[in-house]
Structure 1
Amino acid sequence: MLLILCLCTLLILVLTLLPLSRHPHWFIRGMDFPRLQFMIFAAALLIGHLLLLDRETITAQILIFATASCLLWQLWWILPFTPMWRKEVISSSDNTAKRQLSILTSNVFTPNRNAKALIDLVKQHKPDVLVTLESDQWWQDQLQVLEADMPYSVKCPLDNLYGMHVYSRLPLDEQEICYLVEQDVPSIHVCLTLRTGDKVRAHFLHPAPPSPTENEESTERDAELVMVAKSVAKSHQPVIVTGDLNDVAWSATTRLFRKISGLLDPRVGRGAFNTFHAGYPIARWPLDHLFHSSHFTLRDIQRMPSIDSDHFPLLTRLVFTSPLGNQQEGIKPEKEEVKWSEKITDEQQVSKNDVPTPAE
């Protein structure tokens, strides 16, 4: 029994310590994803130590200390995405229709053929903007029925799992489809005009994940996130960045994105809103994101029902509160993190100047 507990403690130590290296290999970066599962494993292991070991021995004390440290470290990353944390974005009860902006983000999963489920969600909730990821020509043809109510659109149908579409009830100007880091991985950038007449700079992203079948390292994904973060950091315009970022809300790189960009995460203090994998309840994490500038407060954020994709759609309702922003503040970068962000973009030879700046 002691040997089993020692091996389990060694395992949770390795799983916890690996991401600290910041090595971009897909396996190491993948350890950012199941932090909640690691936390549960560490908690169960700690209970086992306390019940089964003689706590007077040095071996038991070392095992208990190591496991408790891993538990607390994983909890430190997870806790902000629970109601026990202070909300980063103020809740709004403003029902003024012209000040609201609702966005439905949905990775449809290209082979999925249940377009009706997504169309029904759009008709039921009437979002101002629909963003689809992994949408090919078939999906574009099916979603054409939405164009009567959502006449503004940007379409980039691809059959490589990186197609993107944006449908909107609100005017979209300065539209650009860009391939910021990889030649076959697009992003969409637009100027969105609110009903108040205010212009919003919007970026829709879907960088490729680090994985054995995609990119062996996370450098391409990280570079796209950082270059967009740097681009919006000094903007005085209202800004929204949304999409499937193939990174979890509690990873070091998503945290770096928040720090460099200065954008806010409405999930902080509310919940994780795990959108992937829809088919495996015990292995879910938040891959679909929406970040915004301090010009907005939050009306509501919801994970929508399954549309037979491997992702759940995410519906976010914002309220445009101030043309000059308000007192909401995100997290600030340390000097070492700024250097890390520069290293990421330098290695991929990309720049914030490569990112379109609609509405500027």
Structure 2
Amino acid sequence: MTLTLFLLASLFIALLTLLPLWNHEAWWVRGLDFPRVQLISLILGTLLLAVWLLDLSRPQSLALITLNLACLAYHAWWVFPYSRLHAVEVKASTPDTAMQPLSILTSNVLASNRHADCLIDLVNQHKPDILVTLESDNWWQQQLDTLAADYPHSIRCPLDNLYGMHVYSRLPLQESTIEYLVEPDVPSMHTQILLPNGARVRAHFLHPAPPSPTENEASAERDAELLAVARSVADNTLPVVVTGDLNDVAWSSTTRLFRKISGLRDPRIGRGMFNTFHAEHWFIRWPLDHIFHSHHFRVLELQRLCLKGSDHFALLSRLDLRHGEDNGERRLHPTPEDSARADIKMQNQDVAKSDVPVPAK
């Protein structure tokens, strides 16, 4: 009976491990990209019980342990880059050596949340150059407009469908546009940030809809939006920042494909996971809020901040623009198969890189 129970548990673990290898876009497949850390914990628990309860002299027991170890190794391969044991992808900078700092506070506020004072306190405490809010509606806009004296530049798109977005900036914004790249009710924001030294940074703020039974039944729309932006910035010469709630985890195949196609760096690699969702449930947390950037930057600081009333933590990113320097090694490069896969995803949603605004040269 004990061996049978372990057999069933091991087969269940193997199924959850293998299903994401299937490139099917259904939400119940792509959703299994998320809980890799939770699956690692489940596998470790299963292995400990197996060693304790099973007769290890039996070949069947050793086979089950080997199967679980293989699943453990696979999930660890995806997650390991987001541990401090891994080499960093982006070099660090320090405040006393920073050449041109740029700080961005990204926050999914939760539309029903009425604790705007907490976010405003975070802004006043950390003084980011850019504040990006997601799920912000007209009520949130009224509250955040009190920041106008310190943040005179803004892009506003209040919506009551959970996809409202706002950007408030201390720094001038140029050529700002709001686009609906894939879905007619899911906006994205695109702009240029003008730094004090005259440098321009191309910025894209995204919040694609997730694959879920209550949103989109497949990940197709999310994937196509991310890849259209990736294609657009891939051959860009300006410094680039892409941030937002991407409704995808850092270690998914889609995010990995985004990084390959775009050429952007992930400053979390070698520094930590920075899990931003779910703020209220420690046992189901994963990194949904992201920042990616071009090779022009080093990292000053990454910090997760508590936001009262929201199901997300806020993410504070401080970067240092350092043109022409070795700021870290790009570790992912696209294969022809990757490029073909990206093209197919975009074609299926009738979106192209030309749909993404490009700053005038």
TM bucket normalised to smaller: over 0.9
Which residue in 2 is equivalent to 1:144?
145
Secondary structure of 1:282's counterpart equals helix
Scaled by the length of structure 2, what TM-score is found?
Answer: 0.97
Matched position secondary structure for 2:19: helix
Unaligned segments of structure 1, at least 5 residues = none
Matches of 2:23 and 2:94 in 1, distance apart?
41
Q: In 1, are the aligned partners of 2:91 and 2:328 still within 8 Å (CA)? A: no
- In the TM superposition, residue 340 of structure 1 has moved relative to its aligned partner by 1.1
State the one-letter code of the partner of 1:274.
Answer: N
Counterparts of 1:11 and 1:155, CA distance in 2? 46
Letter in 1 for 2:308: I
Partner of 1:269: 270
2:35 is matched with: 34
Matched residue, 2:23: 22
CA distance in 2, matches of 1:356, 1:324: 27
**1:54 matched residue in structure 2:** 55
1:2 maps to which residue?
A: 3
The equivalent residue for 1:87 is 88
Q: Could you say which residue in structure 1 is the equivalent of 2:135?
A: 134
Other-structure match for 1:43: 44
Q: Are residues 118 and 133 of structure 1, via their aligned partners in 2, closer, same or farther at CA, if it must alter by over 3 Å?
A: same
Is the aligned partner of 1:172 residue 2:173? Answer: yes
- Note the residue ranges of structure 2 that are not aligned, 5 or more in a row: none
Would you say 1:357 and 2:342 are equivalent positions?
no
How many angstroms apart in 2 are the aligned matches of 1:250 and 1:359? 34
- Kept in 2: contact 1:198–1:323 (CA 8 A): no
- The verdict on how the C-alpha distance between 1:208 and 1:325 changes in structure 2, with shifts beyond 3 A counting, is farther
1:98 Cα shift? 6.5
Return the letter of the residue paired with 2:132: V
How far off is 1:324 after superposition?
7.2
Q: How many angstroms does 1:95 deviate by?
A: 3.1
Question: Using a 3 Å threshold, how does the CA distance of structure 1 residues 142 and 261 change in structure 2: closer, same or farther?
Answer: same
Q: Is the 8 A contact 2:200 2:239 kept in 1?
A: yes
Q: Could you say which residue in structure 1 is the equivalent of 2:240?
A: 239
Structure 1 residue 221: deviation in Å?
A: 0.1
Distance across 1 between alignment mates of 2:16 and 2:317: 33
Indicate the RMSD between aligned Cα atoms, in angstroms. 1.3
Aligned residue in 1 for 2:305: 304
CA contact under 8 A between 1:9 and 1:67: conserved in structure 2?
yes
Any idea what SS the aligned residue of 2:282 has?
coil
Spell out, residue by residue over 1:148-202, the C-alpha distance to the aligned partner (whole angstroms, 9 max, x if none): 0010000000000000000000000101000000000000000101111100100
After TM superposition, give the deviation of residue 96 of structure 1 in Å: 5.9
Identity %: 56
Code of the aligned partner of 1:127: P
Q: 1:256 & 1:67 partners in 2: Cα distance? A: 27
| Residue in 2 that maps onto 1:107 | 108
| TM score, norm. by length of structure 1 | 0.98
SS in 2 for 1:190: strand
Query: How many corresponding residue pairs?
Result: 360
The answer (yes or no) to whether the contact 1:174–1:190 under 8 Å persists in 2 is yes
The change in CA–CA distance for 1:168 and 1:137 in structure 2 (over 3 A counts) is same
Paired with 1:323 and 1:195, the residues of 2 have a C-alpha distance of: 18
- Please say if residues 237 and 359 of structure 1, whose CA atoms lie closer than 8 Å, have aligned partners that are also in contact: no
Q: How big is each residue's C-alpha offset from its partner over 1:8-35, in whole Å with a ceiling of 9 and x where there is no partner? A: 1011101000000011000110001110
1:334 and 1:44 map into 2 onto residues whose CA distance is 37
Distance, in Å, in 2 between the alignment partners of 1:56 and 1:351 is: 58
Distance 1:230 1:63 in 2: 43
For 2:327 and 2:89, the matched residues in 1 are separated by 12
Q: Cα offset for 1:358?
A: 2.2
Q: Is the 8 Å Cα contact of residues 298 and 327 (structure 2) preserved in structure 1? A: no
Which residue does 2:346 correspond to in 1?
345
Asked whether the equivalents of residues 203 and 240 of structure 1 are also in contact (C-alpha less than 8 Å), the reply is yes
Contact 1:208 1:220 in 2 (8 A): yes
The AA in structure 2 aligned to 1:260 is I
The alpha-carbon distance between structure 1 residues 327 and 36, as it changes in their structure 2 partners (threshold 3 A), is closer
Tell me the alpha carbon deviations over residues 62-112 of structure 1, each in whole angstroms, 9 at most, x when there is no partner. 101110000000100110000010100101014367610000000000000
Report the Cα distance in structure 2 between the residues aligned to 1:99 and 1:359, rounded to whole angstroms. 22
